[in-house]
């Protein structure tokens, strides 16, 4: 879901059909094919990826903050809904769990933000888990998550623009690595009840907003259960190698580190 985030990147009246097939929006800017969940205003189409569709909407409260809403697509078309909990196949359960994990891990990472605000600020907050089975909700209601809106660009785009304009400085590189280091350390702090490996660090999952760095897309995250060498160490190596490539401008695909213990290409 990370490439879908788009980095500009869902409750209200329950009437009429709650959703239409994702393909019906025709990719027109601002197209709306889903009724917003309770508490949100009209949805504006942001983008569509392999597994989901993202919209932005404003909260119907005094602040009226803009948030990002994501829905999970079915391989056959349309969205997964509350009805899909009634008879789930193993494949359906796996897709829904991965989609929900993106929100649950993000929520867990924010549990300790008061103790380490510098570390927590590198993670986009998930504000609402609309994936769980909800008693009393219409069966046709699509599964969704609501996330904080971050306006920025992928680290690859940010780096390319900096190199193109010959504006990448030592301070930029230091700030970028400091942000990544803080994020990686926060993810596995011993005092946290749960410690996490992102397990999918690549150029589309690191976002730059000004001088701030964010790690997004937690659908493939794994809980770190051992002090031994493992997934969290791979996160660090993926991140270090990625930053080296960004700084040198070498973003060609196909460069793997399998010999060093990487299981797949981090830079697809």
Q: Domain check: are 37 and 163 in the same one?
A: no
Q: Output the pLDDT for position 5.
A: 42
- The answer to whether the pTM exceeds 0.85 is no
Q: Tell whether 10 and 101 lie within a shared domain.
A: yes
Residue 214 has pLDDT above 50, yes or no: yes
> How do residues 43-54 score in pLDDT, each as one tens digit?
999 988 888 999
265 domain-assigned:
no
Q: Scanning the structure block, which residue is given the tokens 């699509």?
A: 142
Residues 39 and 141 in one domain: yes
Q: Are residues 137 and 15 in the same domain?
A: yes
Measure Cα distances from 158 to 100, 173, 174, 213, 250 in Å.
29, 12, 15, 11, 14
What does the pLDDT read at residue 226?
Answer: 64
Q: Which residues are part of a known binding site?
A: 70
Question: What span, in angstroms and rounded, lies between the C-alpha atoms of 180 and 155?
Answer: 11
Are 6 and 115 in the same domain? yes
CATH of the domain at 113: 3.30.200.20
Torsion of CA 51, 232, 223, 142, to 10 degrees: -20
Q: Percent of the chain, pLDDT > 70?
A: 76
Please give the share of the chain, as a percent, with pLDDT higher than 90.
37
Which of 148, 172, 198 is the last residue in one of the domains? 148
Give the pLDDT confidence score for residue 1 in this predicted structure.
52
Q: Do residue 116 and residue 68 come from a single domain?
A: yes
pLDDT in the model for residue 230: 53
The CATH number of residue 164's host domain is 1.10.510.10
In the chain, the number of structural domains is 2
- pLDDT for 30: 38
pLDDT, averaged across the chain? 78
User: Which residues fall in the annotated binding site for ATP?
Assistant: 70
Quote the domain boundaries for residue 134. Answer: 2-148
Is residue 268 domain-resident? no
């Amino acid at each position: 879901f990370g490439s879908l985030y788009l980095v500009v990147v869902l409750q209200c009246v329950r009437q009429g059909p709650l959703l239409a097939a994702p393909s019906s929006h025709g990719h027109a800017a601002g197209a709306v094919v889903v009724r917003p969940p309770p508490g949100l205003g009209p949805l504006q189409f942001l983008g569509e990826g392999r597994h989901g569709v993202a919209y932005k909407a404003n909260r119907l409260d005094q602040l009226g903050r803009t948030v990002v809403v994501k829905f999970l697509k079915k391989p056959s078309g349309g969205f997964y809904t509350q009805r899909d909990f009634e008879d789930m196949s193993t494949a359906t359960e796996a897709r829904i769990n991965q989609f929900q994990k993106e929100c649950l891990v993000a929520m867990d990472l924010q549990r300790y933000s008061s103790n380490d605000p510098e570390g927590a600020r590198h993670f986009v907050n998930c504000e609402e888990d609309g994936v769980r089975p909800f008693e009393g909700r219409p069966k046709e209601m699509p599964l969704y998550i609501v996330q904080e809106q971050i306006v920025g660009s992928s680290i690859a785009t940010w780096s390319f623009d900096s190199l193109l304009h010959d504006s990448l400085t030592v301070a930029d590189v230091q700030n970028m690595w400091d942000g990544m280091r803080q994020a990686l350390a926060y993810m596995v702090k011993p005092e946290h009840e749960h410690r996490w490996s992102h397990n999918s660090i690549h150029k589309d999952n690191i976002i730059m907003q000004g001088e701030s760095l964010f790690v997004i897309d937690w659908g493939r995250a794994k809980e770190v259960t051992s002090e031994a060498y493992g997934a969290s160490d791979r996160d660090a190596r993926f991140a270090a190698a990625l930053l080296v490539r960004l700084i040198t401008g070498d973003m060609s695909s196909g460069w793997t580190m399998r010999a060093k213990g990487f299981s797949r290409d981090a830079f697809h």
